[in-house]
């Protein structure tokens, strides 16, 4: 794990999304809430929130975070699409921490899409999940409102003695 102990606690926000491509019949069943397994959209929202909360258990070396809020939304394509369309799954995660919440937002969106896939696979075997990505993040070093990181110390240019060996002193990154 990366040592984040010296980083300041800041408000962190991340939004991630992905797409679930479905056929026309499934899209109609989702709109009418008539799936054989039940209300897939609500199950997806719950699964996404649970996935975001359990990110540190699923992703090795990911810091466990106390999330302030997780919001999962599933947007159906507009209009009548006989051929189907792409549902947009979005997950927003917020916290006050020393490290970002991108992984929590990504995991939440992915797990929500997987839950939808599971709920709908009996109706549409040709579904596919695509375009998982971080859409927005704020807080921490990459945030323009945040303080700049401290400068790095200059490189040591002093000559090495013959009886001296060199080994990196920061073993944390090996």
Task: Tell me the per-residue pLDDT of 13-64, one tens digit each, with 9 for 90 and over.
Answer: 999 999 999 999 999 999 888 998 989 999 999 999 999 999 999 999 999 9
Name the active-site residue from 39, 118, 126, 131: 118
Other CB atoms within a 10 A radius of the CB of residue 124 amount to 19
Q: Whole-angstrom Cα distance, residue 97 to residue 143?
A: 14
**Cβ(48)–Cβ(136) below 8 Å:** no
Is the CATH code 3.30.70.640 the one for domain 10-138? yes
pTM of the model: 0.79
Is there a catalytic annotation at residue 32?
no
């Amino acid at each position: 794990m990366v040592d984040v102990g010296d980083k300041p606690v800041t408000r962190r926000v991340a939004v991630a999304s992905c797409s679930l491509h479905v056929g026309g019949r499934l899209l109609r069943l989702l709109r009418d809430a008539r799936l054989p397994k039940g209300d897939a959209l609500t199950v997806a929202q719950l699964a996404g929130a649970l996935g975001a909360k359990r990110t540190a258990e699923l992703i090795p070396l990911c810091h466990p975070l106390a999330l302030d809020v997780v919001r999962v939304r599933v947007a159906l394509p507009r209009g009548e699409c006989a051929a189907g369309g792409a549902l947009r799954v979005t997950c927003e995660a917020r916290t006050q921490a020393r490290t970002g919440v991108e992984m929590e937002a990504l995991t939440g969106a992915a797990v929500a899409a997987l839950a939808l896939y599971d709920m709908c696979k009996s109706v549409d075997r040709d579904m596919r999940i695509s375009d998982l990505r971080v859409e927005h993040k704020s807080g921490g070093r990459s945030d323009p409102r945040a303080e700049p990181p401290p400068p790095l110390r200059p490189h040591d240019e002093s000559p090495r003695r013959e009886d001296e060996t060199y080994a990196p002193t920061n073993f944390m990154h090996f």
